[in-house]
């Protein structure tokens, strides 16, 4: 256990299964309830969870983080796979508006 | 031997794989997610359905597949029009951007005879004329008004108490109408007033020039007078009398009212709504407090938290729904504006629900001294010595300097909801707004940390509350669809 994780709930995510971006987004989304310190190495993304306030109940902290990471991993996957369509739709939406250069 | 092949042979969709179009999902409750497409059309899905759809495993010829297909969440071999339709809807939502700025607020004076502790505007004693807008400043402001590309121009007079500088209001109206003979815009005027100093002269002028009146009404007499002290302690009586006289002179629908929620209001939402109904208003806007001006200095903003306001809001909304389902038509305006974004391809002109933010491009403020602010809230911040959103001065700056300066473009660009953390992956983003002034005021930057943002948490709960109610009841759904198309 590192100095960062003393007294914290530690949750590991295998780097092969989850992106660091998904973990960062999850930590961001949960910041009102938890302080999540992110570390790890090439194989593991390690999160140390602490309450953001003394009144925060930590009983569901690990489940909350795992669920949030899974959701964000899926969101990132959807974003990547639909990105060409997004660009095409915005291109069509802005065509002939006179708002573009050229 | 059969003459024709089987029906399934002509249907390419069931056996063909689909491709997802861009979509986002956000938790509605413990059981379900809200999924939205780029135009803000939504579908409810379970957790397993979200995963199945994202993994390409969603079975065709199921109700969910058809629903997702009809709302442009996917394309398959059976259809190729979804991209064009979706682009058209996105374009419709964004089209109003080219027609900025529709609302021009003239602060005719800072003088006011009320001393409301929650007031968002710093006020001056009503004998200090140095806080009045001059005709010279008004003329320069009008130069900027008529530079706006917007076909429709609304000039709203605010204060202080705007009617304390009635000569300036008359001057602006007459000059704007004179200029508009050549400009040919759809020109409208609103006087925002507490109605306490409304006299026959002002009413007659308003009648001659089709000027609307917008006033403040916080609820029943005891609540209103507690919130809005003035000499004589008769704010409520004067407001109600002013509403009656203004309606008689201008027409019933030419007078609107806005309420402000204070800690004292929280237990009285039904009484407040009943008061609006008693005074024959057709709607109410259940508004939260803003973190600006006197509301901050007097600690009024801190006096209740978001959860209490949300309880207040939903108690009021449910009461209004109950009234409607009982046959009495009455609208909650905030819900109606959100529903317009949820259920139609149209946008609302309400600045707080615009992204890119509505500052300056939705509404712009010309202060009594010629300073130009990006919004009413920006002016309030400036009164607290924070001039981040001061765009220039009508006496010193041209239209292009004001509208293309860093003071405006930086917050507009930084806060664009589609590209900021927390919003870019949120399914509610198409319905929400970017509010750089609020986040600057509360967190010190234009974007803000959304999980800590009262603006974000409040709106997310409102979105969830509206969806839950219309999904639970077809009658509420029909009511909400009506509201979405009225407002």
- Which CATH number do you get for residue B269? 3.20.20.70
**Residue B302 CB neighbour total at 10 angstroms:** 12
Name beta bridge partners: B75. Answer: B19
Q: What is the pLDDT along chain B (487 residues), one digit of tens a residue?
A: 557 776 555 555 555 589 999 999 999 998 899 999 999 999 999 999 999 999 999 999 899 999 999 999 999 988 778 888 999 999 888 888 888 999 999 999 999 888 877 775 666 666 667 899 999 999 999 999 999 999 999 999 998 899 999 999 999 999 999 999 999 999 999 999 999 999 999 999 999 999 999 999 999 999 999 988 888 889 999 999 999 999 999 999 999 999 988 888 999 999 999 999 999 999 999 988 766 555 555 555 554 578 889 999 999 999 999 999 999 999 999 999 999 999 998 888 898 999 999 999 999 999 999 999 999 989 988 988 999 999 999 999 999 999 999 999 999 999 999 999 999 999 999 999 999 999 999 899 999 999 999 999 999 999 999 999 999 999 999 999 999 998 7
Angle at B28 between CA B27 and CA B31, to 5 degrees: 85
Give residues with Cβ within 8 angstroms of B19, minimum separation 6: A85, B74, B75, B76
CB count, 10 Å around CB of B353? 21
Closest CA in chain B for residue A52? B452
Q: Are residues B216 and B137 in the same domain?
A: yes
A39 - beta bridge partners?
A46
Contact A28 B98 (CB under 8 A): no
Contact at CB, B21 and A85, closer than 8 angstroms = yes
Looking at the structure, tell me whether residues B174 and B270 fall in a common domain.
yes
Encoded tokens for B385 = 């010595």
Cβ neighbour number for residue B184 with a 10 Å cutoff:
8
Cβ distance B22 to A86 less than 8 Å, yes or no, reads yes
In a domain, B207, yes or no: yes
| pLDDT computed for residue B293 by the predictor | 53
Is residue B460 included in any domain, yes or no?
no
| Alpha carbon distance B450, B435 (integer Å) | 11
Contacts of A87 in chain B (CB under 8 A): none
Based on the structure, what is the number of domains in chain B? 2
A53/B contact by beta carbon, under 8 A: no
Asked if residue B282 belongs to a domain, the reply is yes
Q: Which two tokens stand for residue B451?
A: 């999980």
Residue B22 contacts residue A89 (beta carbons within 8 Å): yes
* Distance, CA of B115 to CA of B123 (rounded, Å): 8
Which residue among B27, B51, B451 places its CB closest to the CB of A31? B451
Element (H, E) at B55: none
Cis peptide before B400 (omega within 30 of 0): no
Strands B32-37 and B42-46: antiparallel
**Predicted pLDDT of residue B203:** 97
For residues B147 and B133, membership in a common domain is answered with yes
- Rounded to two decimals, the ipTM of the complex is 0.91
d(CA B309, CA B317): 12
Q: How far is CA B41 from CA A83, B339, B340, B477, in A?
A: 19, 11, 11, 15
Residue B302 lies in a domain: yes
Beta-carbon count within 10 A of B91 CB: 19
- B373-387 burial string, b = 16+ CB within 10 Å, else e? bbbbbbbbbbbeeee
Residues of A in contact with B20 (CB under 8 A): 78, 81-82, 85
Is residue B327 a part of any domain in this protein?
yes
> What residue in A sits closest to B37 (Cα-Cα)?
A86
Q: Which residues pair with B186 in a beta bridge?
A: B152
Residue B261 lies in a domain: yes
DSSP H stretches of helix in B159-199:
166-183
**Chain A contact for B449, CB < 8 A?**
yes
Residue B2's SS3 state is coil
Complete DSSP assignment for B261-288: --GGGTT-HHHHHHHHHHTT-SEE--PP
B421 contact A CB<8A: yes
Q: CA quadruple A77, A78, A84, A86: dihedral positive or negative? A: negative
Contact between chains at A29 and B88 (C-beta distance less than 8 A): no
The Cβ-side half-sphere exposure at B384, using a 13 Å CA radius, reads 21
Q: Is the pLDDT of residue A31 over 70?
A: yes
> Residue A100 has what pLDDT?
53
In angstroms, the CA B397 to CA B371 distance is 10
Query: How far apart, in whole angstroms, are the C-alpha atoms of residue B309 and residue B349?
Result: 23
What is the least distance, in Å, from the CA of A31 to any CA of chain B?
6
Among candidates B20, B87, B452 on the partner chain, residue whose Cβ is nearest the Cβ of A82:
B20
Cβ neighbours of residue B80 under 8 Å, at least 6 residues apart?
A: none
CA distance A93 to A87: 10
The minimum CA-CA distance between A97 and chain B, rounded to whole Å, is 9
| Site from A93, A94, A96, A97 to mutate, B interface, most B CB atoms within 10 angstroms | A93
Do B397 and B407 form a contact (C-beta atoms < 8 A)?
no
**Which of B60, B94, B128 delimits the end of a domain?**
B94
CB nearest B83 (choices: A71, A75, A89): A89
For residue A24, the distance in angstroms to the closest alpha carbon of chain B comes to: 11
Determine the distance in angstroms separating the CA of B22 from the nearest CA of chain A, rounded to an integer: 5
B196 and B73 in one domain? no
Among residues B63, B94, B125, the one where a domain terminates is: B94
Give the confidence band of A102 by pLDDT, cuts at 50, 70, 90: very low
Q: Find chain A residues with C-beta within 8 A of B456's C-beta.
A: none
Distance from C-alpha of B171 to C-alpha of B160, rounded to nearest angstrom: 18
Residues B133 and B56 in one domain: no
Residues B22 and B160 placed together within one structural domain of the fold: no
Answer yes or no: do B88 and A93 touch at CB < 8 A.
yes
- Both B131 and B234 in one domain: the answer is yes
Q: Contact at 8 Å (CB) between B144 and B401?
A: no
A25 and B CB contact within 8 Å? yes
On the CB side of B18, how many CA atoms lie within 13 Å of its CA? 26
Contacts of B457 in chain A (CB under 8 A): 32
Residues B78, B110 within the same domain: no
Show Cβ contacts of residue B237 under 8 Å, excluding neighbours closer than 6 positions: B221
Domain span including residue B52 = 18-94
Residue B373 φ/ψ, nearest 5 degrees:
-120, 155
- Whether B116 and B39 map to the same domain: the answer is no
Residue B382 and residue B389 in contact, taking contact as beta carbons nearer than 8 Å: yes
pLDDT confidence of residue B10:
58
* Separation in Å, CA of B436 to nearest CA in chain A: 19
B174 shares a domain with B285: yes
Half-sphere exposure at residue B240, Cβ-oriented, CA atoms within 13 angstroms: 15
Q: Does the residue B301 lie in any domain?
A: yes
Is B264 within the bounds of a domain? Answer: yes
Rounded Cα gap, residues B220 and A51, in angstroms: 43
Q: Which residues of B touch A83 (CB under 8 A)?
A: 22
Q: CA dist B206 to B53, B173, B211, B324, B366, Å?
A: 58, 10, 5, 33, 21
Last residue of a domain, one of B42, B73, B94: B94
* Local structure of residue B111 (DSSP, 8 states): B
Task: Examine the domain organization and report whether B39 and B149 are in the same domain.
Answer: no
Interface of B with A in 66-125 (CB under 8 A): 83-84, 86-88, 90-91, 94-95, 98
Task: Give the minimum alpha-carbon distance from B356 to chain A in angstroms, rounded to a whole number.
Answer: 15
- CA A94 to CA B306: how far, in whole Å? 38
Give the tens place of pLDDT for each residue, B47-71.
999 999 999 999 998 999 999 999 9
Cross-chain Cβ contact A94/B452 below 8 Å: no
Q: Are residues B325 and B399 in the same domain?
A: yes
């Amino acid at each position: 256990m590192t100095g960062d994780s003393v007294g914290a709930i530690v949750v590991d995510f295998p780097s092969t299964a989850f992106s660091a971006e998904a973990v960062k987004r999850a930590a961001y989304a949960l910041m009102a309830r938890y302080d999540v310190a992110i570390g790890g190495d090439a194989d593991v993304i390690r999160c140390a969870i602490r309450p953001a306030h003394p009144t925060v109940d930590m009983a569901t902290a690990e489940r909350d983080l795992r669920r949030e990471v899974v959701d964000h991993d899926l969101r990132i996957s959807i974003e990547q796979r639909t990105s060409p369509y997004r660009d095409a739709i915005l291109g069509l939406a802005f065509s002939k508006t006179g708002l573009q250069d050229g | 031997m059969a003459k024709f092949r089987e029906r399934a042979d002509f249907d390419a969709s069931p056996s063909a794989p689909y491709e997802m179009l861009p979509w986002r999902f956000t938790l509605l409750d413990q059981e379900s997610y809200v999924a939205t497409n780029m135009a803000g059309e939504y579908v409810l899905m379970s957790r397993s359905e979200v995963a199945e759809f994202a993994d390409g495993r969603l079975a065709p010829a199921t109700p969910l597949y058809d629903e997702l297909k009809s709302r442009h969440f996917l394309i398959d071999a059976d259809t190729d029009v979804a991209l064009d339709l979706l682009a058209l809807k996105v374009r419709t939502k964004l089209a109003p951007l080219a027609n900025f700025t529709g609302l021009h607020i003239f602060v005719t004076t800072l003088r006011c005879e009320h001393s409301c502790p929650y007031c968002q505007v710093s006020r001056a004693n009503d004998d200090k004329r140095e806080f009045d807008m001059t005709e010279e400043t008004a003329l320069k402001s009008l130069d900027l008004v008529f530079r706006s590309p917007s076909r429709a121009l609304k000039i709203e007079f605010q204060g202080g108490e705007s009617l304390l500088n009635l000569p300036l209001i008359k001057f602006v109206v007459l000059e704007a109408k004179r200029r508009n003979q050549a400009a040919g815009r759809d020109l409208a005027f609103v006087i925002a007033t507490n109605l306490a100093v409304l006299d026959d002269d002002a009413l007659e002028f308003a009648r001659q020039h089709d000027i609307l009146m917008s006033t403040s009404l916080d609820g029943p007499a005891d609540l209103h007078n507690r919130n809005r002290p003035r000499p004589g302690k008769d704010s409520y009586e004067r407001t109600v009398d002013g509403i009656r006289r203004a309606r008689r002179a201008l027409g019933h629908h030419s007078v609107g009212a806005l309420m402000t929620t204070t800690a004292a209001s929280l237990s009285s939402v039904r009484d407040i709504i009943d008061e609006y109904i008693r005074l024959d208003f057709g709607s109410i806007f259940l508004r939260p407090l803003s973190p600006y001006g006197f509301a901050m200095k007097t600690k009024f903003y801190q006096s209740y938290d978001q959860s209490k306001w949300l309880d207040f809001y939903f108690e009021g909304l449910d009461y209004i729904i109950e009234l409607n389902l009982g046959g009495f038509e009455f609208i909650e305006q905030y819900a109606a504006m959100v529903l317009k974004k949820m259920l139609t391809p149209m946008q609302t002109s309400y600045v707080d629900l615009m992204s890119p933010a509505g500052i300056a491009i939705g509404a712009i403020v010309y202060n009594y001294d010629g300073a130009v602010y990006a919004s009413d809230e920006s002016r309030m911040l400036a009164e607290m010595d924070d001039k981040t959103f001061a765009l220039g001065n009508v006496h010193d700056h041209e239209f292009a300097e004001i509208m293309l300066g860093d003071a405006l473009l930086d917050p507009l660009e930084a806060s664009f909801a589609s590209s900021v953390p927390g919003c870019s992956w949120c399914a509610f983003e198409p319905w929400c707004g970017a509010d750089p002034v609020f986040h600057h005021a509360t967190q010190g930057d234009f974007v803000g940390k959304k999980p800590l943002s009262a603006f974000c948490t409040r709106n997310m709960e409102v979105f969830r509350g509206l969806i839950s109610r219309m999904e639970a009841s077809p009658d509420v759904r029909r009511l909400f669809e009506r509201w979405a198309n009225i407002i």
